[in-house]
Every structure is written in structure tokens, then in C-alpha cells.
Amino acid sequence: MELVLSIGIGVLAGAGVWVLLRPRTYQVIIGLALLSYAVNLFIFSMGRLKMNAAPVLEKGVGVDPALYTDPLPQALVLTAIVIGFATTALFLVVLLAARGLTGTDHVDGREP
């Protein structure tokens, strides 16, 4: 499972960088989104991949850290997803405004 997740993170990051370097603004936004997904998966994987384990401690049960997953990366990723949606929406509004003002969607504002 760790190998599949690592390959997925690598593919998302590589595709994000490749699309980020394209000359169109919409492709830059998609590249930033792919990179943010790769970073979210990376942060989520830092909490150890553990199947069928409780994310929080239960009252009256002995505390053995090996029996629980770390809830902090899950909370960080959830927050990052919400912030990512908001920034992507902001980028799209700026993209539409820039396209209306300049008449082109190239990053530098000029057609080749």
C-alpha cells in the first residue's frame, strides 16, 4: 500500500509541475491544484498508514500509540482541502478578469 501511495504522490507531483510550466493560465491553475493534491496525500501519509484503527483515544483503555492513528495529519489535510478549494476559486475569478482585460489567457499576456 505504501508503494502505491508513493507512486501516486510522485505521479501527481510530476504531472502538476509539468502542467504548471505550460503557457496558459488555466493550465497553471490545474498544475497548482495537482501539486496541492500531492502535498495533501504526502501530509496524510505522514500519519502512518494504519487500517481499521481508531483515530482518537478511548476513555478507560490503556494508551498504546501503536493501536491508534495520528489525527493531526487528517485535520491538516481537511483544512488544506478547504483552503485549496477557496484559492482555486479565487484563481479562476482572477483568470476570468485577466482574460477580459487582456483578451488572451497566456501567462505573460502576449500571444506567441
Distance CA 81, CA 33 (A): 10
DSSP class of 22: S
pTM across the whole model: 0.78
In the chain, domain spans: 2-50+68-102
* pLDDT, tens digit (0-9, with 9 covering 90-100), for 70-103: 778 888 889 999 999 999 999 999 989 988 888 8
**Class of domain 2-50+68-102 as given by CATH:** mainly alpha
Contact (Cβ atoms closer than 8 angstroms) between residue 55 and residue 77: no
Q: DSSP for 33-92?
A: HHHHHHHHHHHHHTT---SS-BSSPPTTS---GGGB--HHHHHHHHHHHHHHHHHHHHHH
Higher-pLDDT residue of 45, 64: 45
16-63: pLDDT as tens digits: 999 999 888 889 999 999 999 999 999 888 876 667 766 666 677 677
* DSSP 8-state assignment for residue 106: B
Integer CA distances (angstroms), 62 to 57, 67, 71, in order: 9, 10, 18
- Chain-centroid distance, C-alpha 39: 5
